[in-house]
Copies of this chain bind each other. A is one copy, B any other.
Amino acid sequence: MGQALDRDDIDIYLREVGLRDGLQNISTFFPTEAKKEWIAAEAAAGVTDIEVCSFVPPKLIPQFQDALDVVATAKKISGLNICALIPNLKGAERGIEAGVDQLNYVTSVSETHNLKNVRRTPQESVENFKEIVDFRDQRAEETGKKVTLLAGCATAFGCTLEGDINPKAVISIAKQFVAAGADEISLADTVGFANPGQIKSLCRQVMDELDIPITIHLHDTRGMGVVNAYAAYDAGIRRFDGCLGGLGGCPWAPGATGNVVMEDMAFMFEGMGLRTGIDIEKLCAVRDIVTRELPDESLSGGIAKAGMPVNFAQATPLAAAAE
């Protein structure tokens, strides 16, 4: 498990994925120093888990050409769980050499989507994942540091190409990932099709079948991001991906919202008395870094625009969040 996981002072883990899922479709290069500033500022606001980059070939996505440099600096922050997306074994090798705490490997449950994205069937992706597990285990024996593996089930709640996705297919892929050695599973509403009823139902089914932690990865494309996070919480989920300012809109749907807004989720959970470890006002202030570097992106989010309610009491003691 990564350093930040399973802390007894935290009820809800909010994982920042903006530096990866938020930036991956943005062609403007986000300067390396600004990425480091963003990571440091979020960690200082109390965020426990950050996906800082993707170990894809720089030729494919130049945005992540500075992955090694970014990870090296992030590693200096004590207590932060540093995650990176990896598309394949080569990415896993690079990620582990870089020294991340967690690798995130994603497969689409939709065969059509997976074939289009990575030219493999979901089954072939699971086979590929097994090689990654073997490599991870071998490096753990050699170095004594066991990197955790998060295996993501994309399009778990629907697919733009296939439409409905059978929950049985999601459960099948998730179980294969667990059997192969995944430490954690994520369920992703990749295209923003899900409604809270569906989220609650599928999360419960998957939780009934697996006994490892499950993360939910939501997009706010159709305005359902926060409500789907709540429904997942209601089903028992305690780990959530989010994105500062809801970055990550679809490049071919101008104006469409992206990932679920990190700071709005923090506001919701803290208001409900659940400790995220995060100082919401400090988190909102981090938006300034993103706005400065990406002046043409319009950030989403209610709490940052409207400000905190008077008399609002965070569940996380703010002195603790400021540590």
Q: Which residues of A contact B (CB under 8 A)?
A: 158, 160, 163-164, 191-193, 195-198, 220-224, 226-227, 229-231, 234, 250, 253, 255-257, 261, 264, 267-268, 271-273, 301-303, 305-307, 309-312
Contact = CB atoms under 8 A, between A and B. Distances in A.
A256 B192 CA distance: 23
Given A163-B311, A271-B197, A192 B306 contact: yes
B302 A192 contact: yes
Contacts of A221: 302, 306
B256 A222 contact: no
Contacts of A301: 223
Contacts of A306: 192, 221-222, 250, 253, 256-257
A253 B309 CA distance: 13
Nearest to A271: B195
B264 A223 contact: yes
B195 A302 contact: no
Given A222-B264, A222-B309, A223-B302, 15 more contacts: A158-B311, A163-B311, A192-B309, A193-B312, A196-B230, A196-B268, A197-B271, A222-B267, A223-B264, A223-B267, A224-B264, A227-B229, A227-B230, A230-B230, A256-B306
Contacts of A231: 230
Nearest to A267: B222
Contacts of A307: 253
A256 to B, nearest CB: 5
A272 B312 CA distance: 32
Nearest to A163: B311
Given A164-B311, A255-B305, A257-B302, A227 B268 contact: yes
A230 to B, nearest CB: 5
A253 B230 CA distance: 26
Contacts of A255: 305
A196 B228 CA distance: 12
A222 B163 contact: no
Contacts of A164: 311
A302 B224 contact: yes
Contact of A253 (B226, B257, B305, B310): B305
A174 B22 CA distance: 45
A271 B158 CA distance: 12
Nearest to A201: B272
A58 to B, nearest CB: 31
A192 B309 CA distance: 8
A227 B306 CA distance: 17
